[in-house]
Each structure stands twice: as C-alpha cells, then as structure tokens.
Amino acid sequence: MVLGNRIRDRRIELNMTQEELGNAIGVSRAAICEYEKSSRMPKIDKVSKLADTLNLEVGYLLGQDVSIIAEDTNLHMKLPKEDLKLLSELKKNKKLYLALINDPVRMIKLINNKLSK
C-alpha cells in the first residue's frame, strides 16, 4: 500500500498523468493505475525506473525510513515512515504548515498546550 500511495502522490506532485509516467518507465497507463491501487507490484527494474523518474529513493518508494540531509545546515536525520506521513498530511493544511515553518517553537508550544487539555 505504501508503494502505491507514494507513486501516486509524487506523480500528482509532479503534475504527471498515469500515461506519462507509464511511458517514462515503459509500462502502460493501466499498469501505473494498478501500482497506485496496490493491486499489482512492479518488477524490481520498474521500481528502479519509477524512483529515477519520480526523483525519489528506491527505499522511500518501498516504505523504508528516509534519510534527509539539509545542505545549508549539514543536518542529517532519519525519519520514520509515520513522521513522513504526518508531514505529508501537514502540508495539506497550508496555514498550519506555514505557521510551523515561520515560528516552529511557538507553534509546537501551542499544539502541546492543546493536546494536554
């Protein structure tokens, strides 16, 4: 299920159609649809092509934790899948996401206060 969701989410993020992605990796639109619904698993060579085309790590596509390196601060961290899902959902709420980016300490205190009530 993780693989299908990650393929779909990234394809949409890149404004690609299923047909465009299929053409890029050498499969049909129907195959991409089945990958995204998790009703069919791509062969390993296609997983590699998917990762390259979508500019993602193979491990990330397969649901493994992802290493993130912030080049400007030399910060390196490994995020569990659950955290990545949370961040992905958080991005959907633009106002909250921007508030967290602009003043993370304040927003985390507010969130903690709400959760402790």
- For residue 75, is pLDDT > 80? no
Distance CA 5, CA 84 (A): 12
Q: Is 49 exposed, middle or buried (0-12, 13-18, 19+ CB in 10 A)?
A: middle
pLDDT at 107: 80
More confident position, 38 or 67: 38
Q: Which residue, among 2, 81, 84, 82, has the nearest Cα to 35 in the 3D structure?
A: 2
Greater confidence (67 vs 42) lies with 42
Residue 14: the pLDDT is 94
**What structural domains does the chain harbor?**
2-61 (1.10.260.40), 66-116 (no CATH)
Query: In this predicted structure, what is the pLDDT of residue 80?
Result: 63
Q: Which residue has the higher pLDDT, 9 or 77?
A: 9
Length of the chain: 117
Higher pLDDT, 117 or 109: 109
